[in-house]
Structure 1
Amino acid sequence: MSDAPEAPVRPVPAFDPPYYMAVFTTVRSEEQSGFGETDARLEELVRGIPGFLGAEHAQNPGGLGITVAYFRDADALARWGEHAEHRAAQKRGREQWYESYTLHVGRVERSNEFVRAAPNRGTHDR
């Protein structure tokens, strides 16, 4: 266990629309060997995709996981979808890590945010 303070939890900020999002909802299987390492590697790789804006992840105690990744344009999202290591992880996920998943892709037409701690900043529609 580390003595370093945890980074504050914050959502991905609102961006000027339009942009794209991929919503990946999963139910994991019992077999998770290698998942953590692969997940960390994919996080590193996606950050290198030009046009990647950020991602959020949540997992409930019942095992439902949701990851939402944001991309500046459809081309950036497509580059991520076609990335060789990402494709290999998708295959392994179907074979080993997931009982089920869904992927929804959408274009964000409106985006807003609220940050209480920041002075002179409130809700912003974009």
Structure 2
Amino acid sequence: MTATNKPAVSVGSGVAGPSAQTLEEVIALTRRLRMPYLRKAALDVVPTARAQRWDPAEVLRVLLAEEITGRDEATLRIRRARELPGGQDLRRLGREPLLHSRTHPTSPTWHGVGRPA
């Protein structure tokens, strides 16, 4: 980075007190990092944390826990919608096929594919 180039993301001075601008900056950063569940929770958690004078580490822990919970729930929703075998090991699968016909309708024949004659 040269003296004329500006950083891609501003993180503020680090010493400024809490303000609406800080919350807007957090929201912008969570958009860039693609953290939708943290962004949604931050709108409620940050004002509460300010009012109750939470430790910054506690705020971060709560927000990250929200993001993890949201992602886990989304993963389960997607697996159920696609009828994928989620959360199963080989003992629980029993005699069920590993590939469901809906997600893998045919088994391609690989004999001779991509090999020179």
Taking structure 2 as the reference length, the TM-score comes to 0.24
Taking structure 1 as the reference length, the TM-score comes to 0.23
Higher relative contact order (CA 8 A, sep 6+): 1
Higher strand fraction (1 or 2): 1
Higher CA-based Rg: 2
Higher helix fraction (1 or 2): 2
